[in-house]
Amino acid sequence: MKLSVTQHTPNAITCTSLFLGCMAIVAALSFDETIFGIEGYKLAYILIALAAICDFCDGAAARMLHAYSALGKELDSLSDLVSFGVAPGMLVYSMLSHTDGCPQWLPFIAFYIPVAGELRLARFNIDNRQSTSFLGMPIPANAIFWIGYTAFAIKNGEISPWISAALVIIVASLMLTSVLKMFSLKFKNASVADNYMRYIIIATAIISVALAGLSGLALTIAVYVILSAIPTKGGKG
């Protein structure tokens, strides 16, 4: 019994992430309506963030418990698609739907986010070149960007829906490109020499969020993309 529980613990965490992602979709579609005393889009931010924590913990649990499985790999991808593809897509869809002057058909462009995410995850599952780094933007980074961008757009309220639509095409397409090699944000040790790029990302996130609130998350992901595009002599670890 102990062995069975150990083997299924990472999968249980993954399923929790999926559950949170489903809740985030409902919250995102509610947008400015109040759910549990908080506006829908803000609740979606929280739920996606909690799903991201679960996404980190399921992998950590699998490594710690030596509970790797083909089932766990498939569950992880399916959960990621919902929590970091569909949920952010619904968030952008709702934002565009509530934007003044937005053509009625334009919000549907947000569905390109989960479509690109699905293709990205399917390629990841069959590409053994992505064990220590990624070809294209990882889907959790996509979700973090859209939390930051929608927070910025909602706060300012003056961004053209066409700019948002163009960003959907650009950012979602970054998940599909095989040209951009992006380093993993997971630490294998605490060495500054081995992880200096990761420490830069952490510092950027802390400073930008402190100065700009959640909007700073979009800047953090932009810095992540830029740093990944810079060639380094010894790689990025």
Mean pLDDT by 10 residues, the chain (237 residues): 68 94 97 93 97 88 77 88 97 95 96 94 79 82 96 89 96 84 78 84 95 95 91 57
- Give one DSSP letter per residue of 96-148, joined into a string: HHTSTT--TTGGGGGGHHHHHHHHHHHHHHH-GGGSSEEES--HHHHHHHHHH
Residues 40 and 48: their CA atoms lie apart, in Å, by: 12
**Letter string b/e over residues 129-145, b meaning 16 or more CB atoms within 10 A of that residue's CB:** ebeeebbbbbbbbbbbb
Q: What is the pLDDT of residue 196?
A: 87
Q: What is the pLDDT of residue 232?
A: 66
Instruction: Return the domain boundaries, the chain.
Output: 2-229
Question: Residue 16's closest CA among 79, 62, 60?
Answer: 79
- Strands (DSSP E) found in the chain: 34-35, 38-39, 133-135, 181-183
Residues 52 and 126: their CA atoms lie apart, in Å, by: 23
Q: What is the pLDDT of residue 130?
A: 64
Residues 64 and 46: their CA atoms lie apart, in Å, by: 27
Residues 207 and 128: their CA atoms lie apart, in Å, by: 35
Question: Residue 145's closest CA among 170, 171, 165?
Answer: 171
Distance of CA 219 to the CA centre of its chain: 14
- Tell me the pairing of strands 38-39 and 133-135: unpaired
Please tell me the pTM assigned to this model: 0.90
CATH 1.10.3470 fits 2-229, yes or no: no
4: exposed, middle or buried (C-beta count within 10 Å: 0-12, 13-18, 19+)? exposed
